[in-house]
């Protein structure tokens, strides 16, 4: 069991805060600006890989739900692995081998899919670190795979020219395994700081509450700060993603310290970095907001991110995953991009480090479309209006179960390279498209048009610029979006 001097770590963290341009208060941190490189991002890959990949059942919350009596994961655990007294979460570790894990192969697949950045979960709610750590032995280098998974991914991302980020879900560990204390299990008694089962407190009735029951202890919040700073120093991530629960009011002083530490360390590295957050964990403007499994209904003047999964039911690999279709993910990607957002799309590898055929097919479908049409979104900026069409977008998180029935009258717009790009989110049955926002009248598109090209075919398309709109005829069909480059005089 590893241990460390908490006081010494906290002193060192404060020294970095005191010496840098950012102080640990919101007023100072309001001087942060979103870097230009982040404004160019359109598409990234999120990775949920960890102990939950071993049982591959229910969801990435299996480590919690296996200790919640009456849940299907609880029953499955008993039927499959036996009583919780003889087989608990820790007993999955020797089964986690990652024998086929190949960081370079992963990056090659992501790059071919058109992804520009990768964010991997460094520590999920279950408390098992996916990187070598001096703070706890419960990590993938010292146990299980015997590999510094995050370190290997970082090295490969750098080699492939991809931006690398990490995700921390550590704060939720405070209560995540608490159910194991409510019956006879291997989570009994007191555990020292750094143990996988520390502290395993009873969880709140309302996970989204900012205060009230289940207040994290001072020691746990200090440990959270030290652990997160270790991740920052080890991997120098360009992006630091936080899941929910950092919105707790008790954590505010530590969140300010963490943010100042990260921004000051980035200044020492000569780099600019980004924090992603949910809800109102940060005062607006200090970091980049994220919408989980959803998007925004209108274009925004600020950068934002949507994170979503390839599956409807889980962020990790399970035997019962229900996969989305590549064409629907692409439509969401285009919609998000047109509103000044970027999409972080999750993949959940199997325990051995391989991807399912469904995951590779989704990435292949996205990559094939972007290879021909990526100019419209990757080498452009959102247009002055995001688009038009009859299909409404419900704003907010956890909306992705409602697959949108986009039509050939739903368009999203971009501009760049002296051109306007219009993308029909569904192909027209007869090859005809009418863009009403580009009508030849005041408030429409009054510029002269030199040529319109259907990007997937890379050949000129017939068009008629009229008072009721811009009509385009193009032979491209199928189920995927159709992108047009409108080159102006």
Cβ contact 363:112 at 8 Å: yes
The predicted pLDDT at position 336 comes to 98
Specify if 332 maps to a domain. no
Q: What is the pLDDT of residues 198-228, one digit of tens each?
A: 999 999 999 999 999 999 999 999 999 999 9
Q: What is the pLDDT of residues 61-100, one digit of tens each?
A: 999 999 999 999 999 999 999 999 999 999 999 999 999 9
- 389 pLDDT more than 90: yes
| Residue 205: Cβ within 10 Å count | 9
Listed in sequence order, the DSSP H helices in 116-245 are 149-159, 173-176, 218-235
Q: What is the pTM of this model?
A: 0.97
Indicate if 15 and 151 belong to the same structural domain: yes
Pick from 253, 269, 292: which residue ends a domain? Answer: 292
Indicate if 393 and 288 belong to the same structural domain: no
Indicate if 85 and 206 belong to the same structural domain: yes
Q: What is the pLDDT of residues 101-140, one digit of tens each?
A: 999 999 999 999 999 999 999 999 999 999 999 999 999 9
Indicate if 55 and 181 belong to the same structural domain: yes
Specify if 313 maps to a domain. no
Specify if 196 maps to a domain. yes
C-alpha 477: how far from chain center:
31
Indicate if 275 and 397 belong to the same structural domain: no
Tokens 């241990």, located at residue: 3
Cβ contact 321:358 at 8 Å: yes
Indicate if 393 and 280 belong to the same structural domain: no
Cβ contact 24:17 at 8 Å: yes
Cβ contact 112:122 at 8 Å: no
C-alpha 57: how far from chain center:
21
Pick from 292, 320, 347: which residue ends a domain? Answer: 292
- 441 pLDDT more than 80: yes
Pick from 292, 313, 341: which residue ends a domain? Answer: 292
Percent of the chain with pLDDT over 90: 97
The predicted pLDDT at position 442 comes to 85
- 418 pLDDT more than 80: yes
Quote the domain boundaries for residue 445.
382-488
Q: What is the pLDDT of residues 148-184, one digit of tens each?
A: 999 999 999 999 999 999 999 999 999 999 999 999 9
Specify if 439 maps to a domain. yes
How do beta strands 304-309 and 288-292 pair? parallel
Specify if 212 maps to a domain. yes
Token digits for 165? 């980020």
pLDDT average, residue stretch 226-250: 98
Q: What is the pLDDT of residues 252-305, one digit of tens each?
A: 999 999 999 999 999 999 999 999 999 999 999 999 999 999 999 999 999 999
Tokens 């040529």, located at residue: 451
Indicate if 30 and 167 belong to the same structural domain: yes
Whole-angstrom Cα distance, residue 274 to residue 38?
8
- pLDDT band per the 50, 70, 90 thresholds, residue 477: confident
pLDDT average, residue stretch 438-467: 94
The predicted pLDDT at position 475 comes to 81
Token digits for 225? 């700060």
The predicted pLDDT at position 307 comes to 98
Indicate if 184 and 287 belong to the same structural domain: yes
The predicted pLDDT at position 159 comes to 98
pLDDT average, residue stretch 311-322: 98
Whole-angstrom Cα distance, residue 57 to residue 481?
34
The predicted pLDDT at position 437 comes to 97
The CATH number covering residue 457 comes to 2.60.40.1180
Read out DSSP for 9-38? Answer: HHHHHHHHHHHSS--SSHHHHTT----HHH
The CATH number covering residue 87 comes to 3.20.20.80
- Residue of 299 and 441 predicted with greater confidence: 299
- 141 pLDDT more than 90: yes
Indicate if 278 and 390 belong to the same structural domain: no
Backbone phi, psi, residue 414, to 5°: -140, 165
The predicted pLDDT at position 431 comes to 94
Indicate if 259 and 399 belong to the same structural domain: no
Specify if 354 maps to a domain. no
Using the 8-state DSSP alphabet, how is residue 313 labeled? S
Specify if 347 maps to a domain. no
- 327 pLDDT more than 80: yes
- 439 pLDDT more than 80: yes
Domain total of the chain: 2
The predicted pLDDT at position 3 comes to 86
Q: What is the pLDDT of residues 337-375, one digit of tens each?
A: 999 999 999 999 999 999 999 999 999 999 999 999 999
Indicate if 286 and 390 belong to the same structural domain: no
Indicate if 280 and 386 belong to the same structural domain: no
- pLDDT band per the 50, 70, 90 thresholds, residue 1: confident
pLDDT average, residue stretch 381-400: 96
Residue 278, SS3 per DSSP: coil
Percent of the chain with pLDDT over 70: 100
The predicted pLDDT at position 458 comes to 87
pLDDT average, residue stretch 303-326: 98
Specify if 421 maps to a domain. yes
């Amino acid at each position: 069991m590893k241990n460390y001097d908490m006081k010494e770590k906290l002193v060192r963290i404060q020294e970095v805060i005191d010496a840098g341009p950012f102080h640990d208060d919101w007023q100072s941190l309001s001087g942060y600006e979103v870097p230009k490189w982040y404004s160019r991002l359109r598409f990234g890959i999120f990775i949920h890989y960890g102990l939950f990949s071993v049982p591959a059942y229910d969801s990435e919350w299996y480590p919690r739900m296996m200790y919640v009596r009456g849940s299907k994961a609880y029953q499955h655990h008993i039927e499959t692995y036996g009583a919780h007294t003889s087989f608990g979460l820790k007993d999955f570790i020797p089964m986690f081998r990652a024998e086929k894990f190949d960081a370079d192969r992963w990056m090659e697949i992501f790059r071919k899919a058109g992804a520009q950045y990768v964010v991997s979960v460094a520590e999920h709610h279950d408390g098992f670190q996916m990187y070598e750590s001096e703070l706890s032995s419960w990590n993938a280098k010292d146990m299980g795979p015997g590999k510094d998974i995050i370190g290997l991914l970082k090295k490969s991302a750098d080699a492939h020219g991809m931006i690398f980020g990490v995700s921390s879900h550590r704060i939720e560990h405070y209560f995540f395994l608490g159910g194991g204390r409510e019956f006879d299990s291997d989570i009994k008694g007191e555990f020292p700081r750094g143990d996988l089962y520390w502290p395993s407190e009873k969880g709140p009735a309302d996970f989204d509450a900012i205060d009230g029951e289940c207040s994290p202890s001072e020691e746990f919040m200090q440990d959270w700060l030290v652990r997160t700073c270790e991740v920052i120093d080890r991997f120098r991530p360009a992006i630091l993603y936080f899941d929910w629960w950092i919105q707790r009011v008790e954590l505010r002083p530590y969140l300010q310290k963490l943010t100042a530490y990260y921004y000051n360390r980035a200044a020492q590295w000569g780099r600019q970095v980004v924090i992603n957050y949910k809800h109102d964990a940060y005062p607006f403007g200090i970091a980049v907001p994220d919408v989980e499994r959803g998007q925004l209904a209108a274009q925004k003047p600020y950068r934002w991110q949507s994170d979503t999964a390839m599956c409807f039911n889980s962020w990790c690999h399970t035997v019962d995953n229900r996969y989305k279709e590549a064409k629907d993910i692409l439509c969401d990607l285009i919609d998000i991009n047109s509103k000044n957002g970027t999409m972080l799309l999750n993949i959940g590898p199997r325990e051995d480090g391989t991807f399912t055929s469904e995951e590779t097919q989704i990435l292949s479908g996205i990559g094939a479309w972007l290879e021909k049409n990526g100019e419209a979104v990757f080498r452009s900026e959102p247009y002055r209006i995001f688009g038009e069409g009859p299909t409404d977008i419900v704003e907010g998180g956890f909306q992705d179960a409602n697959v949108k029935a986009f039509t050939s009258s739903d368009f999203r717009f971009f501009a760049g390279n002296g051109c306007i790009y219009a993308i029909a989110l569904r192909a027209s049955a007869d090859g005809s498209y009418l863009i009403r926002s580009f009508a030849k009248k005041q408030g429409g598109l009054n510029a002269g048009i030199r040529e319109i090209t259907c990007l997937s075919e890379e050949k000129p398309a017939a068009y008629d610029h009229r008072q009721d709109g811009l009509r385009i005829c193009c032979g491209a069909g199928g189920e995927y979006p159709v992108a047009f480059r409108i080159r102006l005089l």
